[in-house]
């Protein structure tokens, strides 16, 4: 498959369809919510951050899904193999959260009863400040994190759906250098020097029912920052995949990837060893799970079954410059099914 690289310009035409489908290393196409022509209830916008070292990770989200929005915070404890999820849902925001139309500038904030989420952005240098009262009963959550980009390159993809005026415009910024801490109840943790994070910036008009697969890795090995974005599962990806490998300032565009999730009793066995392969033979990775952050929601017309599995990656990826080897690198892979 020849993959199409995006050119610059507006994202949507006058009818609300993508002017161009493909990939890029930055947001070369301009997103504007006012250019969308689909029904308002189908618009989905979010900023999601994950920050973690080999002891703990945290995930922070501000989400405006038109008829429903939420803020969420999660704590992953890799030594204890445990996790905590907490979300605060609100109804019918329809864009009133005012998430920025670009990831390069603009702040994202949402405040409600007993919570405050602020993602400040100064030309790519980010400050995340989060407070959630009673994340679990009697224990409050605080986070104060600074993030600095380590490369000018990122993963960007513009993907159409088969349905007119439906699309997904997505950027993943890997290897964000993180400094800061979080507090849960009376326990406080400061992330290790060299901790990295990732931003998942998503804007689009989604179909009601879909499933996606996504893996993100952000580590330092042999004095090099190595990251990847691997994924598939929704939309028309005939123009480009979202698969990329980052090594310091270099970025390698990958073709296909297959998440081989083991099966048990005809169901996904998320906590057994996975493999990642590709028809192009570029990817040969094993994934040993540590903890499955499972989040299942079923609220009338809204349903989600999300398995975000954290664990250790080992293997290799072939590039035009040679083979990149991965050894005991902690990252995550997920399978998420939505009705929204």
Q: What is the pLDDT of residues 144-196, one digit of tens each?
A: 999 999 999 999 999 999 999 999 999 999 999 999 999 999 999 999 999 99
Please give the pLDDT value at position 265: 96
* pLDDT tens by residue, 91-118: 999 999 999 999 999 999 999 999 999 9
Please give the pLDDT value at position 276: 98
Burial of residue 209, with CB atoms counted within 10 A of its CB: 0-12 exposed, 13-18 middle, 19 or more buried: exposed
Residue 202: other Cβ atoms inside 10 A: 18
What value does the mean pLDDT of the chain take? Answer: 97
Q: Kindly state the percentage of the chain with pLDDT values over 70.
A: 100
- Find out whether 77 and 70 touch, Cβ atoms under 8 Å: no
Kindly list the structural domains of the chain, giving each domain's residue range(s) and its CATH number in brackets, ordered by start. 41-339 (2.40.370.10)
Residue 300 has pLDDT above 80, yes or no: no
- Find out whether 161 and 144 touch, Cβ atoms under 8 Å: no
* pLDDT tens by residue, 26-73: 999 999 999 999 999 999 999 999 999 999 999 999 999 999 999 999
- Find out whether 319 and 326 touch, Cβ atoms under 8 Å: no
Please give the pLDDT value at position 1: 65
Report the C-alpha gap between 221 and 243 in whole angstroms: 20
Please give the pLDDT value at position 298: 82
Please, what's the b/e burial string for 298-307 (b: 16 or more CB within 10 A of its CB; e: otherwise)? eeeeeeeebb
- Find out whether 106 and 100 touch, Cβ atoms under 8 Å: yes
Helix, strand, coil content of the chain in percent (nearest 5): 0, 65, 35
Residue 83: other Cβ atoms inside 10 A: 19
């Amino acid at each position: 498959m020849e993959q199409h690289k995006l050119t610059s310009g507006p994202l949507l035409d006058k009818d609300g369809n993508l002017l161009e489908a493909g990939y890029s290393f930055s947001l070369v196409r301009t997103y504007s919510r006012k250019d969308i022509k689909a029904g308002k209830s189908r618009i989905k916008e979010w900023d999601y951050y994950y920050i973690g070292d080999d002891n703990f990770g945290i995930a922070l989200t501000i989400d405006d899904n038109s008829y429903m929005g939420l803020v969420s915070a999660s704590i992953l404890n890799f030594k204890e193999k445990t996790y905590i999820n907490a979300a605060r849902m609100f109804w019918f925001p329809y864009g009133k959260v005012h998430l920025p139309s670009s990831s390069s500038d603009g702040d994202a904030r949402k405040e409600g009863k007993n919570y405050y989420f602020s993602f400040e952005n100064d030309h790519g240098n980010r400050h995340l400040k989060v407070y959630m009262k009673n994340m679990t009963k009697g224990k409050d959550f605080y986070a104060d994190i600074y993030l600095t980009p380590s490369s000018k390159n990122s993963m960007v993809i513009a993907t159409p759906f088969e349905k007119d005026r439906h699309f997904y415009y997505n950027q993943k910024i890997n290897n964000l250098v993180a400094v800061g801490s979080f507090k849960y109840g009376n326990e406080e943790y400061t992330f290790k020097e060299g901790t990295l994070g990732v931003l998942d910036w998503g804007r689009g008009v989604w179909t009601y029912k879909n499933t996606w697969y996504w893996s993100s890795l952000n580590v330092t090995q042999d004095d090099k920052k190595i990251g990847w974005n691997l994924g598939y599962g929704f939309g028309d990806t005939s123009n480009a995949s979202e698969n990329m490998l980052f090594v310091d300032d270099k970025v390698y565009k990958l073709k296909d990837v297959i998440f081989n999730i083991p099966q048990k009793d005809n169901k996904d066995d998320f906590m057994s060893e996975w493999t990642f392969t590709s028809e192009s033979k570029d990817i040969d990775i094993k994934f040993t799970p540590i903890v499955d952050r499972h989040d299942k929601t079923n609220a009338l017309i809204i349903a989600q079954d999300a398995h975000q599995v954290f664990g250790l990656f080992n293997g290799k990826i072939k590039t035009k410059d040679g083979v990149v080897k991965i050894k005991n690198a902690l990252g995550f892979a997920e399978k998420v099914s939505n009705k929204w």
